[in-house]
Amino acid sequence: MQYGGPEVLEVVEVDEPHAGPGQVRIRVRAAAVNPTDTYVGTGARAEMQKADPPPYVPGMDAAGVLDEIGDGAETDLAVGDHVMAIVLPKGAHGAYAEHIVVPAESVTRVPAGATDAEAATLPMNGLTARLSLDLLALEPGQTLAVTGAAGCYGGYVVQLAKADGLRVIADASPADDQLVRDLGADVVVPRGDDVAARIREIAPEGVDGLADGSVQNGLLLAAIKDGGGFATVRGWSGPSARDLTIYPIWVRAYLNEQAKLDRLRQQVEDGSVTLRVAGTYPAAEAAEAHRQLAAGGTRGRLVIEF
Ligand SMILES: NC(=O)c1ccc[n+]([C@@H]2O[C@H](COP(=O)([O-])OP(=O)(O)OC[C@H]3O[C@@H](n4cnc5c(N)ncnc54)[C@H](OP(=O)(O)O)[C@@H]3O)[C@@H](O)[C@H]2O)c1
């Protein structure tokens, strides 16, 4: 097994999977490229993956056409429907594939009017944003700060928080200021290592909750009021010297939350959530998509098409 940069991505033949009991199969047309996908190739997951034989297929988001329904799968979807799914990759099982088999609860319809590429940008990060907000459990009118707000996760947090009736303070570089305002942030502060102080200038008492899409961890604690909550997305869990609740967010907790995934679909259809595709690549050029992601500054999601 060779680990490395984007160049280790290659097209391989794998056995065609079939839907088992409770599962459905998707003929994948689009798979989003997420930061986590790059860890499969670098070897950052080597310890976790060693029980599974290579090849390793990355990818946590798929959209395409439902083409098999397994026995007893509880779904109102039919073969031929355009669907999107969250995927938990394991070994040769990942969304960068022509076919993927997933639990029926991981799947819902593609939002009306959305392409498969657009839909593929939603399940994993939309559910992560939803989980963050559910754990922070703020009431309408309370204040949430969001960092990395121009990013995929941060952008969905901003939009879902506004739909939940929260006041949102978000960070942005000057180039992204308008983008983050357009996502619905009430106040935009400059991003950077001193962003906690910038947030405190807007909310002197501190914010009720903070969702850390920029992965700045402890640098952000000072923005949060005593008793507030902090959602972190790369496993950081403190310490905090103050009375704060830190929630390490792991989206796999929502793998089978079909109603939540379907609610995201509805929120796209009603205009409260927007889908952003930064570019599309044929499967054979997946390495190029990873190079583009690694270069930084991508706004919206890169998508691999099959
Ligand atoms: N735990 C889970 O279940 C889970 C699920 C989904 C995502 N995640 C994690 O969540 C993080 C965000 O994912 P994403 O897809 O939203 O990534 P993304 O689209 O690249 O967004 C990250 C944003 O943060 C910005 N940023 C990076 N460093 C920053 C800093 N020091 N200060 C301010 N802004 C900074 C980036 O700007 P530049 O592009 O200019 O660098 C970008 O706008 C990733 O680490 C991802 O792995 C975890």
Q: pLDDT tens digit string along 56-106?
A: 999 999 999 999 999 999 899 999 999 999 999 999 999 999 999 999 999
Report pTM: 0.98
The alpha carbon of 215 and the centre of ligand 1 are apart by a number of angstroms equal to 7
The alpha carbon of 35 and the centre of ligand 1 are apart by a number of angstroms equal to 8
Q: How many CB atoms lie within 10 A of CB 305?
A: 18
- Indicate the range of 34-43, 115-124, 173-182, 189-198 predicted with least confidence: 34-43
Cα–Cα nearest to 31, from 159, 117, 158, 140: 117
The alpha carbon of 299 and the centre of ligand 1 are apart by a number of angstroms equal to 11
Strands 143-147 and 99-103: unpaired
Residue list, ligand 1 pocket, CB within 6 Å:
34-36, 124-125, 128, 147-148, 150-154, 171, 191, 213-216, 233-234, 249-251, 296-297
**What does residue 23 show for φ and ψ, rounded to 5 degrees?**
-115, 165
40 pLDDT higher than 90: no
CA distances from 16 to 128, 188, 294 (A): 29, 48, 31
- What span, in angstroms and rounded, lies between the C-alpha atoms of 296 and 57? 23
Inter-axis angle of helices 123-136 and 258-269, to 10 degrees?
110
Q: What is the pLDDT of residue 3?
A: 85
The answer to whether residues 288 and 280 touch, using CB atoms and an 8 Å cutoff, is no
CA distances from 71 to 67, 68, 99, 298 (A): 14, 10, 18, 41
Cα–Cα nearest to 283, from 97, 99, 115, 118: 97
The answer to whether residues 171 and 189 touch, using CB atoms and an 8 Å cutoff, is yes
Nearest CA to ligand 1 atom 17: 151
Q: pLDDT by residue (tens digit) across 26-36?
A: 999 999 999 99
The alpha carbon of 41 and the centre of ligand 1 are apart by a number of angstroms equal to 19
Nearest CA to ligand 1 atom 24: 148
Nearest CA to ligand 1 atom 27: 214
Mean pLDDT for the stretch of residues 269-290: 97
256 pLDDT higher than 90: yes
Mutate to test the pocket of ligand 1, among 122, 125, 171, 233 (most ligand atoms within 8 A of CB): 233
Nearest CA to ligand 1 atom 29: 214
CA distances from 11 to 14, 57, 282 (A): 10, 10, 11
Q: What is the pLDDT of residue 230?
A: 98
The answer to whether residues 224 and 230 touch, using CB atoms and an 8 Å cutoff, is yes
Nearest-atom number in ligand 1 for the CA of 34 is: 15
Nearest-atom number in ligand 1 for the CA of 296 is: 39
